Amino acid sequence: MSTPRVLVLGGKAGIVRKAAALGYELVHVQKPSAFDPSVVAHCAQVLLVDYQDVSTVTAVVRALHEQRPIARVFTQTEAAQVVAGHLTETLGLPGNTTRTTRLLHDKPALRALLNERGIGPVATLTRPTLDELRDFVKTHGAAVLKPTMGSGSLGVRMIHSPDGTDAAWAWREEFGLTDFMVEQLLVGQELSVETFSTGGAHTVVAVTGKETGGGVVELGHVVPAPLAEDELTAVHGIVLDLLDAVGLQDGPAHTELILTADGPRVVESHSRRGGDRINDLVRLVHGVDLEEATYRLAEDAAPLRAVPADGAAAIRFLVAAPGVVTSVTGVADAESAPGVADVDVQVEAGDTVHELRWSEDRCGYVVAHAADAATAVRLAAEAAARIVITTEPTAGAAAPEATLGELLDEVDEVLDPFAAPEHVQGVRQ
């Protein structure tokens, strides 16, 4: 059997190394701004091309495929999902199509499909006027305003009552959010479901519990989520219906939902494994590495089997007051705390901490492993509390809030790589 030649779009060095460790011949396409020289030793070819420049990356990959066939196109990053679907279809390879990856990236399109199929209907409007937004919030009592594409809670704002509508509209304009939607605010336990598909057959691998502290940015996760059997059945059912509806064929999916009084309702879904180190929690508890399982699709691997949970694992994210970091203490204490499996502090003295606008503004995390979910959550929180990140407010007047385009520029991404340049939010000039 010949060595599979696979293409990996984006991703950090650790994810690239996982593919190389399986013995594949690896072609890695990465944005120049995200290039990590350590990947070179693990790759047959490294192409520094902006994979969100669709016409360029398509021409380059087509030429590579004609020169020497590629077996699969993989990506484990949100920014490249729709491009991976496009390349898979263009090259005639097995995997998820443009339609599937687009549906899971385009939130209004996914909501329209779910509502049409009766899969947990949720009231929604896309690009409403101010008057339409006012009427929507009056009708539903509360709402959530968000971009039509994106992840990491970027640009998401809750409107808790009609009195908050005009302020939310003004914020949207200041933030530069022009391509947006509004949905009824769902109330209940927040969850995500981690699945894996092979040839259109879906396996629920894990259900993750979430904590947001009443905001929109996730502050913690636990695997498995503590659910009653009937709740678990309902959650599994709606996610499997969603995956069938979008036509997901291969690989992981990460579906976020809320367990409301009327049953589970989907918030969004993605054709990738969950972020926020959820893959680590799943691996600790279920013994399944969804990143590695994704790459094994190049070997025509058998369908992934569900593995019962062995204990529980939780992650608690570190946050700090906005300002310049002056000190970080307690890291060693956290590392030695009971049940702690991993600690990662991502700021140091001199770094700037922003207010919690999206996932990128968190300061690190602590992971704990225990016999049950409640204990894992407690141990992670206690260990995280040992870490003190001290900040000093920035001198002078507060800087204006960054716009959507500026935040996207910081991470060198656009929300829709297929949009005309003049309409792309966050496009680099």
Instruction: Convert the pLDDT of each residue in 101-113 to its tens digit.
Output: 999 999 999 999 9
**Ranges in the chain, pLDDT < 50:** 396-397, 422-429
Give the count of beta carbons closer than 10 Å to the beta carbon of residue 380: 29
Give the C-alpha separation, 354 to 382, whole Å. 24
Beta bridge partners of 46: 28
Give the C-alpha separation, 74 to 298, whole Å. 9
Whole-number CA gyration radius for the chain:
21
- Report pLDDT for 151: 85
**Which tokens sit at 159?**
């409107």
Q: In 3-state terms, the chain is what percent helix, strand and coil (to 5)?
A: 35, 25, 40
- Report pLDDT for 108: 97
Give the C-alpha separation, 312 to 307, whole Å. 13
- Report pLDDT for 423: 36
At residue 388, the 3 state secondary structure works out as strand
- Parallel, antiparallel or unpaired: strands 323-329 and 143-147: unpaired
- Report pLDDT for 397: 41
- Report pLDDT for 427: 36
Nearest to 258 by CA among 249, 250, 266, 270: 266
User: Is the full-model pTM beyond 0.75?
Assistant: yes
- Report pLDDT for 282: 98
Which domains does the chain show, CATH number per domain? 5-93 (3.40.50.20), 107-184 (3.30.1490.20), 189-392 (3.30.470.20)
Residue 246 contacts residue 200 (beta carbons within 8 Å): no
- Report pLDDT for 399: 56
**What would the pLDDT profile of 267-307 be if each residue is shown by its tens digit?**
999 999 999 999 999 999 999 999 999 999 999 778 899 99
- Report pLDDT for 204: 98
- Report pLDDT for 425: 41
